[in-house]
Amino acid sequence: MTLTIVLLGAAALIGIGLYGALSQQSFVMLMMGLELMLNGALLAVIGFWSLSLGGMPEGQLLAIIVMAVMAVEMAIGFALVVAIYRKRQADMTESIGTLKG
Amino acid sequence: MTDLWVALLALFAVWTGWRVFRVDSMVRASFSLMLSFIAVGAIGVLLSAPYIGVATVFMMAVEMMVMAIFMVMFMMNPAGLNPMVMVHQHRLSIGAGVVAALSLGAAVLFSRPPDDAVRAEADVVAELGHELLGPSMLIFETAGVTLLATMVGAVILSSRQGRFGAADEGSRPPGLSDGGAPAGRQPEGGGGHHHHHHHGGHG
Amino acid sequence: MIWSLAYLPALAGQAIWALGGPRGRVATLALGAAAVTLALAVAVGGRTGAFAWSDAIALQAALPPLAQAVAILVPAVLGPIILFAASHEDAAGLPRLLGLMLVFTGGMELIVIAADLVTLLIGWEIVGACSWALIGHKWRQQAPGLSANFAFVMTRAGDLGLFLAVMATFAGAGRVGYDALGALDGWAQALAAFGLLLAAASKAGQVPFAPWLFRAMDGPTPVSALLHSATMVAAGVYILARLHPQLSGAPGFAATAMVVGLGTAILGGAVALRQGHAKKLLAGSTSAQMGLMIATVGAGYPVVAVLHLIVHATTKAALFCAAGLAQGVTGSFDLKDMRLGRRVPVAAALAGVAALSLAAVPSLAGGWSKEEMVKAVEHAGPFWTAAMVIAGGLGAAYATRFWVAAFGPGDDDAPAVPRGEIGALSALALATLALSALWLPAVHDPVASWFGIALPEGSILGQVASLTAVAIGVLAGLRLARTGLEAQSRDWLGLPELYQRGVIEPFHALANTFARVDDAIVDLIPRGVAGIGFAAAGRLSRADDDAIDGLAPVAARRVGRGAVALAVRSTEALASLGAGIGERLSDLIPTASGRLTGMAGADLRGLQTGLAHHYYTILTVGIALAVGLMNFGG
Amino acid sequence: MLTLAVLIPLLAAAVLALAPVGAGAARWTATGAPALSLLALIAVWAGGGEGFRAVSEVPWIPTLGIAWRVGVDGMSLALALMSALIFVAASAWPMELHHPRSYYAWMAFLAGVSIGLFVTLDLIIFYVFFDLSLVGMYFLIGRWGHGEAQHAALKFFVYTLAGSLLILIGIIVLALNMPEMTFDMRAIIDSPPLAAAGMVPGLIFLAFVVGFGIKTPVFPVHTWLPPAHVNAPGPASAILAGVLLKMGTYGLIRIPMQMMPETFARWALPLAVVGVISILWGSIVAFAQDNLKRRIAYTSVNHMGYTVLGIAVAGSALGSEAARQMALTGAVVEMIAHGLITGALFLVAGAVWQRAGDYHLPNFGGLAGPAPRLTGAATLAAFASLGLPGLAGFVAELHIFLGTFAVYPWLGAIGLLGILITAALFLRMIRQMFFGDMPKERAGFTDLTGTETALLAGLLALVVLIGIWPAWLLELIDAAALIPALGPGG
Amino acid sequence: MPIGDLAPELTVLLTAVAVLLLAMVLPQRRHGWCAGLAVLGLGLSMALALGQAGAERLTFSGTYALDPGTTWARLAIPGLAILCAGLAPRWLATDRRHGEFYAMLLFSTLGALAMAGAADLMQLVMGVLLSSVTGYVLAAYHRDWEISLEAGMKYFLVGALANAFLVIGVVFVMGIAGSTDYATLSGQIFEDPLALIGLTLVLTGLFFKLGAVPVHTWVPDVAEGAPVPAAAFLTVVPKLAGAVALFRLVHLAPGLAALPLLIALVAAATMTVGNLTAIWQDDLRRLIGWSSVSQTGYALMAVAVVGVAPMALPALLGFMTVYGLANVVAFAVVAELRGRTRIADYRGLLRARPGAVVALTLAFLSLVGIPPLAGFLGKFALFSATLGTGFGWLAVVAVANTVVSLFYYLRVIAPAVFAAPEGPVETLGGLARAVLWISVAILVGATVLWAPFWASLGQGLLP
């Protein structure tokens, strides 16, 4: 029961995150959407580890990996945003539309 | 009791997650996101994963602080604190989010995960340590290398000054002739549509 | 040895063409080649030969008496014609002309010696091709080229019959020898017999193929003489006579042959009777005479037909030489301008012999062989005999008319001296006279026994009727020639009226309808596609207006030409349709798919908007589809 | 020996591509290489033998059953000989060119590729050469053609590549269905796979027919041919029509007919109908063309229609053995004859282009005066093409029609119309070109040079020889050995 | 822990660190030396991999597989990376962080290796992540050139979402199946919808690396915008690794009928979208990008028949190798021509730069699959693997696509060969030219070397 609630929460977080990723114009807000999706993944993995998989150690490892992914993506993302902002004073996805077709 | 707390915290996490895109400034948004993470971290603590939970809380607190500062300091001054609505393809996004959440929820309801709760006496932190330095060492090490590479990459991309002066000077493709302009598509007029046009306090 | 009969003249002809030289040398060489061929034809009688291509196909040759007679006839007639050509034609093209005539003779000899259908087909088509080259001899002028093409296509249309015969024979018997032809039965036999009849009719200028003979008149006179006497046209009759034993078993063959033959004989006679162009008059008469022979073959007397063929060859060659001679004097073939009796009295006399023979006047060779043919046809029944008699009467009429109009005594008496032409003419006329000896039983009995047949017996009534018809014909010819050569009154035997009402007017209506349809289609045609077909059709209609009076022969000719014109036009239309719409349709396969691909490419390119949130949308939709497939698609 | 015949031209191509030689030397290199190949092939011919002879084999990818296998039977030897001969004539044909060295390099390359295609006994090598011929011809047309050359070359390449890929699929399925995967033609012919009825053999057969049909080409996939011809230089057209088209019909015999005889027999009638349609369509459309090369090009569709008809009949498993052999003999002779005749016709067209820069027939006339040798060659070739007896085309068409009529009488009878229309169109062409008045702009038109005359005379002499005495060729082809043994009723 | 099992990977890692250190001490104009060091390290790694070529076992507690697939990746990936590294020194000569480029290249190579050998979903995630983050940096390396930054940013945006999905997928799979270990997962029938969703999301993550529909959108942008050496690297190396990883993953679920169908549909969609979109491109680099999307589609044909066709793995590996070579040759031509990329600028280039045009033609004809170039053998292997299974229709789709692809390749070659030359053409020269000719030589030689190469490719993978 608890697991289901946790997983439903995770599903909701993933849905909201996806909404954010799709709808936000600002790079930073967009990344928040991605973070939220990963937050959902984190919630799910905690739930699975604790309530379903008998606390197997790989579960914790996966949680750490989820965090690592978040951190790594954020770091590189911010670096890119900085670089682009410096060249173009642009912080929105619409402003990088040169490459197309 | 724990279950109730877990449920409430999950609800809180979702609610704060929702707030991220509802509040009218990026700083508030990042604080909402932080709250959502903290809620998940708390669930972790409640569900016998203290290390993960605490790590989440700390890590995300720091990250969100960085993000907030980042926005205030570096980005769109003064937009970081200003109210804003900056969305596109809004209905489609709502639809996608709802469909994703509903179908995942349905999948959750129709799935039969194993039913094996963590033993109360387990020393989960020690087990994690053993796992990291034992069977999953390769994964852990790869993660370490990834973090290293990320740091190097982030520095490369974002640093202003390098050993030899401006870090990005001359970092462009060679021209068709020596010293000429790079071939191919040219950038569109220096960030012509600046974001200031897109949001100006209508939010 | 027997093959040399075919390839010797052919090679000699090519050599003469290649060597060229002055008039005298060329003529001498050509005469020599003709003489050698003649000698060979005499020498190789009864021999056979075979030349294997493969296990399945071997070319075979044989020379039974019937064939040998024709084999001798061909070079014999060729000789005087060479003589005529050498003095009559321009020196410039003479080596080519004589050379091609020799090649042509070689082809004809190949037809004669053939003992299997493939060999026959080879000779048949070579003769056609040579006739093309000969008719188009004067290539700098427009008309001969068009006429040559017309003649070749027309005769090749008939050749398809021969192709069908070969195919049917091979399909039915697994072999293509003449013996296999006799072994056929059922549909294969019918197809072979009627295919051959078709081929023969086209070569022999029978209805509905007759028009090509007129077009062939655009060739030089020696060519006409050769074509209409011993070769090409004769080939049609010859092959029916040669293969009569094998073909006569096919049901309906005999009757069809007789209908075609006698029909052409009467229509052709009428055509000749109304003609004002000397050579075309003779051409019409050739159709008619060949019709008589084909009818005789149909009646079951191939040897009689061949005998008439021989007689007719010398006669007709002489008359063509005479016509050429007359044209040499007056500068045209228009009978109105001739009446040369006083200017070229010797030629007139010699032509008279030939004309009387053609008219089938007794005591001359033509008279004998024609009477034999009448006797032969009597065996088929009275109606056939009646038609034969009428045709004979028409023959007497047009022969007489020709002579009187061309060589009757005229006003001008300034002498003209054609030398070589007179030589050729006298040789041919003398040959006709010599053949008149066939009237004597002492002559014709051994001939018949050499051929191994008995001559037909006829009734007195038939003889009388036939001779009466000839007499009437001669008188009518005299009168026709005297009353002038312009259009005659329309009530001649009521036939013109009948044709006008029954055939010509309906046909005009039909032609107009087709023309409108054609115009509609022509609009679709890119300019300039028309070319030969339209030119030919245009010329046909003009020739119609110029040369034909709207009388009985018109019907035959219009039907024939109309059919050709229709065929040409419909082919043309189809061709244009093919070139236009059809090609575009088949080109749709690559271009349409190419264009669709290109459009799809352009559309898909639009998907790559360069905007990240669109990329996200694509990704999300893709995942949704994939998840759906994974959950519900298995 | 056969390997040599393939390698010599390819080596010559490499030399020409890399070594800086002059135009004259390049031309003689490109002529000499196929001439040497011709000698090698004649040596093989003189060696005699039955079935596949002069066989040699070098492994390439043994695990997949792919090897460099060469060997010839009568049909392929005859075609290889003919190809080498046409390449000699086309390379020696005098041309005024930009970049002659590259041009002759491509010519030599194509020569090696074409000969290789006919002498190989490995399906993959066959496919390799099949595709390489497209590449070579693409660059020849695109670079040295005139008018819309690039577009034509592109259409040619893309369209025929589509066909060749279908063939590749077919080849792979054939090999996969062998007991042990192999691409050895002999093995597959000896024990044909995919004998059962069903969808897969039918589809594979369809792939082969479409693939080879495009290359052949047959109606309605022929539309790449006219533009390719019109815009190609004369000798390239001669090669395209004389050699490359034969690859389609050769493949049709070698692969679907010999390697899947049961399926072929099942589908022979539709194929024969396609052949007849091509015969009629090609001739009728050719009749309406005003462009010299387009007209000749469409007659190729017509003639290849005869060939396809003959092949379809041969593989029909109906009628008598003799009739089928007859049809196949005719089909192969038609390939040789068409190669020589149309090669000659396109060389004539090339000569006309070099002198007049024009193909529009109504702009011509009266050329028999200034150019009697050209007239003679064109007339002889045209008559050969319209199937005049005594010339090679007749031998072919006679055999095809004899065989066809014994199996499919109606198709034979309908197909006959083709020879009538062909006659009309060629005579019309000759009249338009050579007879009548000569337009003013054609003044100064010169006759064939000595070299040109000699080359055409060589080709046409062979046409006449085959027309009069075909026994040696028929014996060489040995159609009886080509027709696969098949139970009655297939 | 047999540390020696990972000697090739460790060599790459240590070289990367060494390059980083070297770049710190070298003066700026000597940074090209870092390329030398990188090449040495990669070469050493290949040599070590060759030493372990026969290995067939799981190592590091089942998280890493030593098998034919890994061996191939350990040879092909560093090999192609060497070629890409060779293009860089002249190209990046003016860059102030020139040396670090090679470090990132090496890290990215390491990520690809980690991905290719991963026998555990978590290891796979880390491999993908390492490969991706370094990839973003490589794509955006021209920090003074907005086009490059845009390419990097788009690569990142697509990659971040795809990686998020990948992680979510791994969580779901582990949650239901109880493990992330391939050996444990192998053969487990995935029935629960959550597990199926998880599997699909994991596949999506790999589709991102492969540039397959629907995650193909980054490929053309990176091909056009990234520095040419990086573009060559990013359109080749991650794909090679992704292909092996995908093969391993699909191998795990033999009973899942929808999985091959999904792969087949993705393959068809990928090749079609790639080819059709490439048709009207007028930028050569972008055209190559789209063509490489379509090539991914062809490669996926082999994945669709995993477990059905015995030749599936060799076909995949063989095809990817020659694809990678041909693609590197094409980019090497662009590099040698100093980034000349508008198709119109290639008009008449045959006169001015015959070598470059010949190389480009060879590369393109190989990509089309014109025999006897190795690209044909690759496609031949794919067709052979696909025909005879239920996915024969894929071969027909591939045929149609190949015909279309010929059209756009010829759109570049035809004007280059047929048109009259225009203006002078400068080249990059130096190592770039050497790399061009070395890679052309390998590409051409591959035809002859195919037989032993093919024989050495393994038939199966460890879980």
Helix axes E98-117, E32-51, angle to 10 degrees: 20
Whether chain E has a CB inside 8 Å of the CB on C597: the answer is yes
Give the closest of A14, A52, A60 to B114, CB-based.
Answer: A52
- Say which of B107, B172, B176 has its CB closest to residue E340: B176
Backbone angles phi, psi at D436, to 5 degrees: 80, -155
Which of chain C's residues have a Cβ under 8 Å away from the Cβ of E193? 631
- What pLDDT score does C554 carry? 47
Reduce the DSSP state of residue C478 to 3 states and report it: helix
Q: How far apart are the first and last CA of chain C?
A: 84
Between chains, do E129 and A98 touch, taking CB under 8 Å as contact?
no
Interface residue E175 vs chain B (CB under 8 A): yes
Evaluate whether residue C485 is within a structural domain. yes
C interface test, pick of E176, E221, E246, E273 with most C CB neighbours within 10 Å: E273
C residues 345..364 contacting E (CB < 8 A): none
pLDDT at position C344: 86
Query: Do E196 and C607 make contact, defined as CB atoms within 8 angstroms?
Result: no
Q: Higher pLDDT residue, B179 or C245?
A: C245
Task: Provide the pLDDT for residue C181.
Answer: 87
Map tokens 């062939």 to a residue.
C216
Q: In degrees, to the nearest 5, what angle opens at C-alpha D13 toward C-alphas D7 and D16?
A: 140
Asked whether the predicted pLDDT for residue E313 surpasses 50, the reply is: yes
User: Treating both helix axes as pointing N-terminal to C-terminal, what angle do E98-117 and E7-25 enclose, rounded to 10 degrees?
Assistant: 170
Tell me the CA end-to-end span of chain D in Å, nearest whole number: 38
∠ CA C230-C233-C239, nearest 5°, is: 85
Nearest CA-CA distance, residue E100 and chain A, Å: 16
Q: State the pairing for strand pair C48-52/E57-59.
A: unpaired
Mean per-residue pLDDT of chain C: 82
Specify the CATH number of the domain A2-95. 1.10.287.3510
* Chains sharing 3 or more CB pairs under 8 A with chain E: A, B, C, D
> Is chain B touching chain D, with at least 3 CB–CB pairs below 8 Å?
no
Taking only residues 141 to 170 of chain B, the set having a beta carbon closer than 8 angstroms to any beta carbon of chain E reads: 142-143, 145-146, 148-150, 152-153, 156-157, 162-170
Q: How far apart are CA D331 and CA D257, in angstroms?
A: 13
Domain ranges of chain B: 1-85
Q: Min CA distance, B178 vs chain E (Å)?
A: 8
Q: Exposed, middle or buried by CB within 10 Å (0-12, 13-18, 19+), for C491?
A: exposed
Interface contact flag, B10 A43, Cβ < 8 Å: yes
The helix/strand/coil state of D369 is: coil
Confidence at residue B81, expressed as pLDDT on a 0 to 100 scale: 54
- Indicate which of B92, B98, B108, B188 best probes the interface with C, i.e. most C CBs within 10 Å of its own CB: B92
The residue-averaged pLDDT of C319-343 equals 86
Q: When comparing pLDDT for C165 and B80, which is higher?
A: C165
How many Å apart are CA C3 and CA C109, to the nearest integer?
Answer: 9
Q: Distances in Å between the alpha carbon of C417 and those of C83, C319, C401, C414, E418?
A: 16, 18, 24, 10, 71
Q: How far apart are CA E345 and CA B184, in angstroms?
A: 10
Average model confidence (pLDDT) across chain D: 91
pLDDT confidence of residue D87 = 96
* Lowest model confidence (mean pLDDT) among B190-194, C150-154, C236-240, E15-19: B190-194
| Residue E272: both structure tokens together | 């079609």
Query: What is the reported pTM?
Result: 0.90
Note the residue count of chain D: 490
- Cβ distance of D158 and E372 shorter than 8 Å: no
pLDDT digits (tens, 9 = 90+) for D379-408: 999 999 999 999 999 999 999 999 999 999
Phi, psi (deg, nearest 5) at residue A39: -60, -40
Per-residue pLDDT, B119? 84
d(Cα C127, Cα C122) in Å, to the nearest integer?
9
- Residues 6+ positions from C119 with CB-CB distance below 8 Å: C59, C60, C61, C110, C113
- Which residue, D138, D215, D133, D101, is CA-closest to E413? D138
Last residue of a domain, one of C489, C514, C537: C489
Q: Which residues of E touch D (CB under 8 A)?
A: 365, 368, 370-372, 376-377, 380, 383-384, 387-388, 392, 395-396, 399-400, 402-403, 406-407, 410, 414, 417-418, 450-451, 454-455
Give the pairing of strands B161-162 and B165-166.
antiparallel
The domain containing residue C468 runs over which residues?
A: 258-489
Mean pLDDT in residue range C511-535: 34
CB-CB neighbors (< 8 A) of B110 in chain E: 192-194
For D391, the token pair is: 């010339």
Q: How many residues belong to chain A? A: 101
pLDDT at site D255: 94
Point out which residues pair with C59 in neighbouring strands.
Answer: C51
Band of pLDDT at residue C291, cut at 50, 70 and 90: very high
Least confident range from B187-201, D19-33, D171-185, E79-93: namely B187-201
Q: What is the SS3 assignment for E320?
A: helix
Number of CB atoms found within 10 A of residue B165's CB: 11
Tell me the helix, strand and coil percentages in chain A, rounded to 5. Answer: 80, 5, 15
Return the higher-pLDDT residue of C212 and D459: D459
By Cβ distance, the residue of A52, A75, A78 closest to B115 is A52
Degrees to nearest 5, angle at CA E345 with E344 and E350 = 105
Looking at the DSSP bridge assignments, the partners of residue C334 are C277
Cα C451 to Cα E296: distance, rounded to the nearest angstrom:
87
Helix, coil or strand: residue C30 = helix
Three-state secondary-structure class, residue D360: strand
For residues E377-389, average pLDDT = 92
Q: Which of C594, C602, C612 sits opposite E280 (nearest CB)?
A: C602
DSSP string over E343-391:
GGGGTTHHHH-HHHHHHHHHHHHHHHT-TTSHHHHHHHHHHHHHTTSTT
Q: Is 70 exceeded by the pLDDT of residue E297? A: yes
Query: Who wins on pLDDT, B167 or C119?
Result: C119
Which residues, 6 or more positions from C379, have their beta carbon under 8 angstroms from its beta carbon?
C299, C300, C301, C456
Q: How confident is the model at residue D280 (pLDDT cuts 50, 70, 90)?
A: confident
Closest CA to E427 of E224, E228, E286, E234: E228
Do residues C184 and C272 both lie within one domain? no
CB-based burial label for D203 (10 Å; 0-12, 13-18, 19+): middle
Contacts of D18 (CB under 8 A, 6+ apart): none
Say if residue C234 is in the same domain as residue C270: no
> Which residues of chain E neighbour A68 with C-beta distances below 8 Å?
126, 129
Residue A50 and residue B44: Cα distance in Å, rounded? 9
Q: Do D169 and E380 touch (CB under 8 A)?
A: no
Which chains lie within 8 Å of chain B at 3 or more CB pairs, if any? Answer: A, C, E
Q: Does residue C578 have a pLDDT over 70?
A: no
pLDDT confidence tier of residue C527, bands split at 50, 70 and 90? very low
Q: With 50 as the cut, is the pLDDT of residue B24 above it? A: yes
Size of interface A-E (CB pairs under 8 A): 113
What's the CA gap between D135 and E413, in Å, rounded? 12
Q: What percent of chain A has pLDDT over 90?
A: 57
Reply yes or no on whether the pLDDT at D164 is more than 90. Answer: yes
Spatial CA neighbour of D130 closest among D190, D220, D12, D216 = D216
> What is the overall mean pLDDT for chain E?
93
Segment D108-125, tens digit of pLDDT: 999 999 999 999 999 999
Look at residues C446, C473, C489 and tell me which one is the last residue of a structural domain. Answer: C489
C170:D413 CB<8 A: no
* pLDDT tens digits, E65-77: 999 999 999 999 9
Is the pLDDT at E3 greater than 60? The verdict is: yes
Q: How confident is the model at residue A73 (pLDDT cuts 50, 70, 90)?
A: very high
Query: Is the per-residue pLDDT at B200 higher than 50?
Result: no
- Residues in chain C within 8 Å Cβ distance of D287: 571-572, 575
Q: Which residues does chain B have within 8 Å of residue C624's beta carbon, measured at their own beta carbons?
A: 99
Largest CA distance in chain B: 74
Q: Would you say residue C490 has pLDDT above 50?
A: no
Domain boundary among C227, C251, C275: C251
- Mean pLDDT, residues B64-68: 76
For residue C493, name the pLDDT band (cuts at 50, 70, 90): very low
Select, from the ranges C212-216, C564-568, E235-239, the one with the highest average predicted confidence (pLDDT): E235-239
Cβ partners under 8 Å of residue D293, min gap 6: D226, D229, D230, D237, D346, D349, D359
Specify the amino acid at residue E99: G
Q: At what angle do helices C117-135 and D392-407 cross, to 10 degrees?
A: 130
Distance in angstroms (rounded) separating the CA atoms of residues E124 and B139:
9
Task: Name residue, tokens 């589609």.
Answer: E297
The more confidently predicted of residues B26 and E107 is E107
Give the separation between CA D360 and CA D290, rounded to whole angstroms.
6
Is B96 within 8 Å of C620 when comparing Cβ atoms?
Answer: yes
B161 phi-psi bin (left φ>0, alpha ψ -120 to 50, beta other): beta
pLDDT at C558 (0 to 100)? 53
Count Cβ atoms within 10 A of the Cβ of residue D178 and give its class: 0-12 exposed, 13-18 middle, 19 or more buried: middle
Nearest CB to B153 within list E127, E133, E193: E133
**Cα–Cα distance between D411 and D313 in angstroms, integer?**
10
Tokens linked to E67: 């098998």
Are the beta carbons of E141 and B156 separated by less than 8 Å?
Answer: yes
Which residues neighbour C510 within 8 Å (Cβ) at sequence distance 6 or greater?
none
Query: In 10 A of CB D189, how many CB atoms?
Result: 19
Neighboring chain B residues of E152 at a CB cutoff of 8 Å: 157
Report yes or no: C628 at the E interface, CB cutoff 8 Å. no
Count of CB atoms within 10 A of residue C331's CB?
Answer: 9
Asked if chain D contacts chain A via 3 or more Cβ pairs within 8 Å, the reply is: no
- Which helix (H) or strand (E) element contains residue C89? none
pLDDT of residue C523: 28
Residue C282, domain member (yes or no):
yes
Does residue D14 have a pLDDT over 80? Answer: yes
